[in-house]
Structure 1
């Protein structure tokens, strides 16, 4: 047992501090990373069927462990409430039997997906007879640093194992008990399927030095994936010496065009904001064309449901319950029952607003005008762009990808929901028959 695995100490406010004063956190993280790299080499040799079967056993273990997971989660939720976490954050943190079942089902869905490892991306024959082939391979050891959502523990582990990668997980302190219970169950099932124990490791300390050690582990950790708030992602991007696949804010827009069907627009806007306010696909700004025929009917269901609307001058004129927005509202990911609303003069104005304020996550247009939709889909530079659909569909499962490790908002390597393919790279295989270069 290394220093990081000693018994946790519980503070008065319910937080967990489990790092002994003499613990060498950086050294322990390096040891975990080395063990993960060794396990990944074993995992990569397992067949696709063996990795899939192990995940099915992991899903079964999660279901068996549901009472223990719920007990651990109740302690986390109580601690979060005492610490003053917002309602949206508590919703992200909370588990119930249906969410645990969904977690287990997501692991099974990942197991059933086509394995990208070994897929031939392309192949060409050169004039000299050599064959050049690009083939998908695992990235290696992936470090995932995340906050709030305990389901990330299972999703990230499943995606990494299925794609032949090892995972080093570091969850947030608010979900520490839940993460440990989920990891313990999943590890039991994976081990029964022959997956090395070090292929999926949970960093067992909440000391922030562990994050710094992961970010500095160039040559040991092959990629870092941060999932959390702006401060976490900013720190990772600023400090990492390891390639980062970033998941940034979901400042998502829905533009209701003048040609939108009013009933469709009303249903989409309500769902995009209020289905679950704490998910990254939640709409944060509603743009309404000045010529849309029923702006009050569009906003009334949101107001009636208790959603706070903050608008520009023309939006405030629609209903007295709308309060004036300030400059920072247009750049805020609320993750709460709060929505910014602006009235815009047509598609050009909507595109300009989105270009100025969007985070590159998910933006949608509601319209029956196919030409307007085509322009919106072509010109909005976000990872996900939608027509006549709720932004709440910004989810790997809804894309048919199974679980996801995050929504990547950058432009390199992977973009949008990052699932199995996004956790692979490629290598070139050159097949010759004795050729030499003159």
Structure 2
């Protein structure tokens, strides 16, 4: 099936074990990095098993890409989502009754409707695959309420194996996925999270737009630049365009048809660089992305890992560049804290603290990243900014004493920037008025 339908000569790490477990009717939890081949873990069983496979997918664009890909392989698949007319949906329902399809992609909201569950119960269902399974967990970085209901599937289909798949889950999230989906003694496969061809790089953010332009002008091939807001996306895309760089902005504020055109043009190499919010990228299967640049600090290591995972899927060298400014962190914390759900806010703040620690790390970045996902590594990777240009240590006792002495003389009552200005001897009006320019420090 692997060779004749999909054209591959051999399985990637873990695929055959997962497929064998599903064929033995065992629940599965599959943790594979972005681009690691998760889809084949349920697509091949879908073709080998007698009935219909239901795939739960969170995004319309993701469903469309997957189904389009399967149709090119000659596999009968369809998706049901809110973009379809009632007539289109009714045709697919009829096709399901007539055993016309092997895979149906559906959003969790529709899947859990009683009318849809009743329809499925009249069919032979062989497998239920939950893609982006971290969405089911409160500990996941992309929690969605509709995913929580999926735990009821085991009650409706007790004999049907359920497979959860994700590229990003720490230990707490993995345990919670199994619990929330009601997986019974699941076969768990955890692939390596290491992508050795991606170079992790970080620079201090100071003139961010100029830094981006300078970096992009030195690159060859495709790239994605992530920003935390739509306005930043628009401003940066405009700045790149003014420099004659073949780029486009992408965010949820654009019309759906415009987003579709931009996404298609990027995949077909008509656009070199996409400047985007996190709305872009899930399900993008483009092998020749040479870099992913983060204009702002992501809100979690999971988000960061998922986004940089869109680079270098062809196995060739690629770069993940993070612009880091510690001043951004307090703004992001404030933003997270303003959420409506205090319990969720606490989880997100905890995840952001890990991302902040990654940005401030003085040890091999790959080591920090892999350790977060419980893939403990003692060796240095040799392919990150810390390994290639290690931070230089210096004897800082006297400097530290001066700082503490100055804090004491300022009666421990000033902001850090004011302290820095005094230590540097800046002749600012406020400093002179307070006679702090006369301090010995």
TM above 0.5, yes or no, is no
Greater per-residue strand proportion: 1
Q: Which of the pair has the greater relative contact order for Cα pairs under 8 Å at 6+ separation?
A: 1
Larger of the two Rg values belongs to structure: 2
TM-score, normalised via structure 1 length: 0.29
